[in-house]
Amino acid sequence: MNRPGPGSEPLPEPTTLLQTGWHCLHLYYSVDAAAWKALSAEERQQGAQAVMALLDPERDGAPERIQTFITAGHGSDFGIMALDRDPLKLDDIRQGIRASQLGPALQNTASFVSLTEISEYVPTAEQYAAKLRAAGAGEEDPAYLAKVKAYEQRLPMMNRQRLYPDFPDWPVICFYPMNKIRHPQANWYVLPFEARSSLMAEHATSGIKFAGKVSQLITASTGFDNWEWGVTLWARTPEYVKEIVYTMRFDEASARYAEFGPFYIGYIKSPEQVLQHLRLI
């Protein structure tokens, strides 16, 4: 048994439950037509009912957040995004689909495992105030004081949304994984923190232009998946997804230091609407 040394902080009790934030799971499925045809009518009906019940966000024991969507293209037919403090509650979704009568006809084609987080590049109120002063703002300037107070007031709400996000009531969802590259000529991890923070501030400024059009959630996957972050975007219309991704790729943090994985575009629907669209009910 490992014990803390003299003067060190006591270790938390071993647990799979997060003390801060939520586990996040993205799942993507394709319909296996041959397996579907092999099911009896009763198996199809019972399987569809079981899957719809499992994906119902209002059911007893459902994850804190769960959302279903139809995906475009050949990579998958539909997707699921779910968040909860308990990772096994999220995995129950995958296992429940597999064990249902519809399971043989639903092939899990992709997944992404991550955690919600507050990025190290989100400035504290003190850091935000210091940045304003460095830009020439005077400490007694009413505009400076108003900006600092406004930031102090909205920061807790913004951080809570990063850790315990609500899903916006918008119809379009996009997901992609990404890394910061380690190329000898462009290694993000050898830059000093101040340089990285400045580049991320520029990146954030580009994203703010899409406020009210696109909502973004960054989840951390280092040690949990093959990529370092997952980016989930919700948009009011499909073209906003294209516009924000294109715009932000010109920022140096992205243009010079980012590597992107596959993109998945989807359209949010209820579990019943998803199965109807796939001609499974």
Domain ranges of the chain: 23-116+268-277, 165-265
Query: What is the per-residue pLDDT across 167-206, written as a single tens digit (0 to 9) for each?
Result: 999 999 999 999 999 999 899 999 999 999 999 999 998 9
Same fold, 23-116+268-277 and 165-265: yes
- Residue 106 Cα to chain centre, angstroms: 23
For residue 256, the model assigns a pLDDT of 95
d(CA 49, CA 42): 11
Range 165-265 has CATH code 3.30.70.1030: yes
The catalytic residue positions are 176
Q: How many CB atoms lie within 10 A of CB 181?
A: 14
Token pair of 26 as six digits: 């993205």
Residue 236 has φ and ψ, to the nearest 5°, of -70, -35
Low-confidence ranges of the chain (pLDDT < 70): 1-7
For residue 33, the model assigns a pLDDT of 97
Range 23-116+268-277 has CATH code 1.20.1070.10: no
Is the separation of the CB atoms in 224 and 115 below 8 Å?
Answer: yes
For residue 135, the model assigns a pLDDT of 82
For residue 7, the model assigns a pLDDT of 62
